[in-house]
A and B are shown apart, each in its own frame.
Chain A
Amino acid sequence: MFPAFVENPENCNFEGQDPNEKIILLLRAHPITNIPWIVTSIILFILPFLTPRIMPLLGFNLSLIPQTFLLIFLIIDYLLVLIIVYEGFLYWYFNVILITNEKIVDINFQYLLYKAIDLAPLDRIEEADSVTAGIIGTIFNFGRVSIQTAGAQVAITMKDVPRPSKVADLILDLAKVPHQHQDFKGGV
Chain B
Amino acid sequence: MPSTTVDLLNNGYFLFFGKVAVLILLIFYAIFSLLIVRQVDLMGKTLTTGIAPVVRVFAIIHAFVALGLIFLALSIL
The answer to whether B49 touches A12 (Cβ under 8 A) is yes
**For residues 55 through 91 of chain A, which have their beta carbon under 8 Å from a beta carbon of chain B?**
59-61, 64-66, 68-69, 71-72, 75-76, 79, 82-83, 86-87, 90
| B43 and A14 contact, CB distance less than 8 A | no
Is the CB–CB distance between B58 and A86 below 8 Å? yes
Q: Do the beta carbons of B38 and A113 come within 8 Å of each other?
A: yes
Contact A64 B48 (CB under 8 A): no
Contacts of B46 in A (CB 8 A): 14-15, 94, 107, 115, 117
User: In whole angstroms, what is the CA distance A37 to B34 when docked?
Assistant: 22
Taking residues whose C-beta sits less than 8 angstroms from the other chain, chain B's interface range is 35 or more
User: Does A112 touch B at the CB level, under 8 Å?
Assistant: yes
Contact of B35 among A12, A93, A112 (CB under 8 A): A112
Chain A min CB distance to B46 (Å): 5
Contact B22 A15 (CB under 8 A): no
Indicate if the CB atoms of A96 and B47 lie closer than 8 Å. Answer: yes
Q: Which residues of B contact A79 (CB under 8 A)?
A: 29, 65-66, 69
Interface size on A, residues (CB 8 A): 32
Chain B residues contacting A82 (CB-CB under 8 Å) are 62
Cβ–Cβ contact A76 & B25, under 8 A: yes
Which residues of the partner chain B approach A117 to less than 8 Å between Cβ atoms?
46
Query: Quick one: CB contact mask for B43-77 with A, threshold 8 Å, 1 for yes?
Result: 10111111100010011001001100100110011
A13 close to chain B: CB less than 8 A:
yes
Q: Which 4 pairs show the lowest CB-CB distances between chains A and B?
A: A94-B43, A13-B48, A64-B9, A68-B76
